[in-house]
Amino acid sequence: MEHNHRGAAVDIAGLAKSFRTGGTTIHAVDDIALQLDPGSMTAITGASGSGKSTVLHLVGAIERADAGTIRVDDLELTGLSRTKLTVYSRGVGFVFQRYHLLPTLTALDNVVAPVLPYRVGFNKTDRARELLAAVGLAGRERSLPSQLSGGEQQRVAIARALVGSPRLLLADEPTGNLDSTTGTEILDLLTRLRREHSMTMLIATHEQNVAARCDRLIRLRDGRVVDDVDLTEGEPAETTLHRVTGLRV
């Protein structure tokens, strides 16, 4: 399987996004500046509604920003046409809390689905088989999502996220629907895949044990960054998290 040589660099400046709901304006993201180094693994945490998912959606081009810039390597997303944004988003991997698998497709076909419409320089089925094996699901290629456990469905979703060889992987509460043991297995998997593929990873999570596995913690409140902590230096990550967030792992 081909490997990426380098994760994507992400540079966010002055990022803002508001939503109108029931006559009220919600400032979901409010003047955020953030730089992610290539190959880094960063957790975005904060209470529900703090803007975690919105940041991921903006960086992944699922939503457009109202203001500010998002530069991923040499691409400035906020100025791109819809067509170029589609090309960009093909190079980004997404993992969601609720898996988002297509229920009528097998595990193999779910993994192939993102690249099915496109001409690519590899055999799509072979790549999907390799990825399912890499996430521990060799032999389950023909299983439907309904025949898989939650943890297995998330493994399929991770394989699907990797099928386009992304240099940037965005994960939104990837362990949120899983028990703690399965969640730890998924975390181990993400950590290993990040190392093997040199991906830059941005993970939205409210779980401290997830954040503790990352290099860096960004905490949001009301759409703004209130903490930006390096978890690789000094005290153990768990101690830092408890000090910054008041929560134990």
Q: If pLDDT is split at 50, 70 and 90, which confidence band does 116 have? A: confident
d(CA 107, CA 16): 37
Per-residue model confidence as pLDDT tens digits over 137-186: 999 999 999 999 988 998 999 999 988 888 999 999 988 888 888 888 88
The three-class DSSP label of residue 46 is coil
Output the pLDDT for position 15: 95
Q: Is residue 225 part of a domain?
A: no
Which residues, other chains included, contact 19 with Cβ-Cβ below 8 Å and sequence gap of 6+?
25, 26, 28
Q: Is residue 111 part of a domain?
A: yes
In Å, what is the CA distance from 66 to each residue of 1, 28, 30, 54, 213? 39, 11, 10, 12, 32
Full residue range of the structural domain in which residue 150 is found: 101-165
Q: What is the pTM of this model?
A: 0.88
**10 assigned to some structural domain:** no
- Cα–chain-centroid distance for residue 245? 22
Is the pLDDT at 207 greater than 70? The verdict is yes
Q: How confident is the model at residue 66 (pLDDT cuts 50, 70, 90)?
A: very high
- Residue 48 resides in a domain: no
**Mean of the per-residue pLDDT values of the chain:** 87
* pLDDT higher than 50, residue 240: yes
Q: What integer pLDDT is reported at residue 6 of this predicted model?
A: 81
Q: How many domains does the chain have?
A: 1
| pLDDT tens sequence across 23-58 | 898 889 999 999 999 999 999 999 888 899 999 999
